[in-house]
């Protein structure tokens, strides 16, 4: 790296480069930086970006894997909350870069820390917090909400470990307040036999979340009204149609899909579960998969001996993650070569500390369960 950083390069010049030129620039920068950089590609990332990734996986896996490397720079081709998680879990000297700061997550953005703190205070005022209430947040949330859970005896969960964590918290607490994905919360609660009338839905734009005090006192699970815009596109009629069109097809969906879709499916589970299920299935098996289209397309390419379909005919793509294009990646990498760290994601120390408390609790509780 030059002793004195050069002027930050403008993104403009990258917007007019050919695909080939961009690819060459990214690979040259990677060679130049060597082990000082690790590029992470989320499972839902587009092909022209993921082909440059050193590591691929889901958000939590990627953050953990990056923290185990000695790389000084973690270039996260995912969305904002994932880059925050990498900063929380990374070594102190590791710096995290999100190649496009506009790559957010529509679900994570549905719960702000101000709204969550306000909801908690409303629950306190009506006496709900006189019961033992645990705040639990899905990994797909801001660092500030993870820290809120860390401060209040709560925990973070992923779609892989939501079931064992619910098992522990449902036994030890009177109720749980689950952020921000109502569908993962409802689908997981249903696995424990919690009836729908004991799952209150909290709308942050209404007083008491749109509930009566009695409903909230009686609820076992309070679900934040958030959802994933990608998984929310799968509807029950898609399941009915694909079963009619393809006899023998098995329907495999992510638990961010709505309850009615999960109830009609054969199997549901995290992205890793979906990949492993297809990997381990016999040649000739037929799958209709309800998750992000880039992942489904790559499964189709990897397993030509299996019949793999996207559950919905229309494009179910994570549009915000798609914002990270080869142009942004090449720009961020070239700037690193010049000694300029662009689009760095930094979580403040206090938030990092309490978010880490919630994540460490997740790790130790899931280890105890396995
Ligand atoms: S797929 Fe859904 S939950 Fe995942 S990053 Fe995109 S919007 Fe967020």
CA of 229 to the centre of ligand 1 (A): 7
- pLDDT score at 369: 64
Residues 315-339 have a mean pLDDT of 94
Residue bearing the CA closest to ligand 1, atom 1: 318
CA of 79 to the centre of ligand 1 (A): 8
Average the pLDDT over each of 55-69, 172-186, 288-302, 304-318 and give the range with the smallest value.
304-318
**Position 23 pLDDT exceeds 90:** yes
The span from the CA of 147 to the CA of 354, in Å, is: 4
Distance linking the first and last C-alpha atoms of the chain: 45
DSSP state of 286: E
Find out whether 361 and 155 touch, Cβ atoms under 8 Å: yes
**Position 264 pLDDT exceeds 90:** yes
Structure tokens at 95: 């710096």
- pLDDT score at 3: 46
Residues 298-306 have a mean pLDDT of 97
Confidence of residue 220 (pLDDT cuts 50, 70, 90): very high
Residue bearing the CA closest to ligand 1, atom 2: 228
DSSP 114-144: HHHHHHHHHHHHTTGGGS-EEEEEESSS-HH
- pLDDT score at 314: 77
Residue bearing the CA closest to ligand 1, atom 6: 318
Q: What is the pLDDT of residues 239-251, one digit of tens each?
A: 999 999 999 999 9
CA of 105 to the centre of ligand 1 (A): 5
181 DSSP β-pair partners:
226
Alpha carbon 84 to chain centroid, angstroms:
11
What residue has token string 């190649």?
Answer: 99
The span from the CA of 369 to the CA of 199, in Å, is: 25
Best probe residue, ligand 1, of 105, 157, 257 (max atoms within 8 Å of C-beta): 105
Q: What is the pLDDT of residues 93-130, one digit of tens each?
A: 999 999 999 999 999 999 999 999 999 999 999 999 99
**Position 370 pLDDT exceeds 70:** no
| Binding-site residues, ligand 1, Cβ < 6 A | 44, 79, 105-107, 140, 228-230, 292, 318, 320-321
The residue among 267, 255, 251, 256 whose CA lies nearest residue 312 is: 251
- Return the percent helix, strand and coil in the chain, to nearest 5: 50, 15, 35
């Amino acid at each position: 790296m030059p002793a004195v950083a050069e002027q930050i390069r403008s993104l403009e010049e990258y917007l007019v480069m050919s695909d080939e030129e961009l690819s060459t620039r990214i690979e040259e920068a990677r060679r130049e930086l060597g082990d000082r950089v690790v590029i992470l590609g989320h499972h839902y990332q587009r092909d022209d970006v993921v082909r440059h990734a050193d590591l691929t996986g889901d958000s939590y896996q990627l953050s953990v894997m990056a923290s185990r490397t000695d790389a000084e720079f973690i270039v996260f081709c995912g969305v904002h909350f994932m880059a925050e998680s990498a900063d929380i879990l990374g070594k102190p000297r590791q710096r995290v870069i999100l190649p496009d700061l506009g790559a957010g997550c529509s679900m994570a953005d549905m719960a702000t820390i101000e709204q969550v703190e306000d909801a908690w205070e409303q629950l306190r005022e009506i006496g709900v917090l006189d019961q033992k209430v645990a705040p639990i947040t899905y990994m797909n949330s801001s660092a500030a909400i993870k820290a809120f859970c860390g401060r209040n005896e709560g925990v973070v969960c992923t779609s892989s470990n939501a079931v064992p964590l619910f098992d522990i918290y449902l036994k030890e607490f009177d109720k749980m307040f689950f952020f921000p994905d109502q569908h993962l919360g409802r689908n997981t609660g249903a696995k424990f036999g919690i009836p729908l009338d004991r799952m209150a839905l909290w709308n942050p734009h209404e007083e008491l979340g749109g509930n009566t005090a009695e409903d909230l006192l009686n609820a076992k699970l309070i679900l934040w009204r958030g959802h994933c815009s990608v998984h929310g596109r799968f509807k029950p009629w898609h399941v009915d149609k694909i079963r009619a069109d393809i006899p023998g097809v098995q329907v495999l969906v992510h638990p961010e899909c709505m309850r009615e879709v999960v109830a009609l499916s054969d199997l549901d589970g995290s992205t890793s579960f979906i990949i492993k299920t297809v990997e381990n299935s016999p040649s000739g098996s037929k799958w209709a998969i309800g998750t992000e289209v880039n992942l489904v397309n790559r499964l189709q390419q990897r397993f030509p001996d299996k019949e793999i379909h996207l559950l919905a005919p229309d494009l179910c793509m994570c549009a915000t993650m798609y914002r990270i294009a080869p142009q942004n990646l090449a720009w961020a990498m070239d700037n690193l070569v010049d000694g300029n760290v662009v689009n760095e994601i930094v979580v403040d120390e206090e938030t990092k500390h309490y978010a880490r408390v919630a994540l460490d609790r997740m790790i130790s509780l899931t280890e105890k369960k396995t």
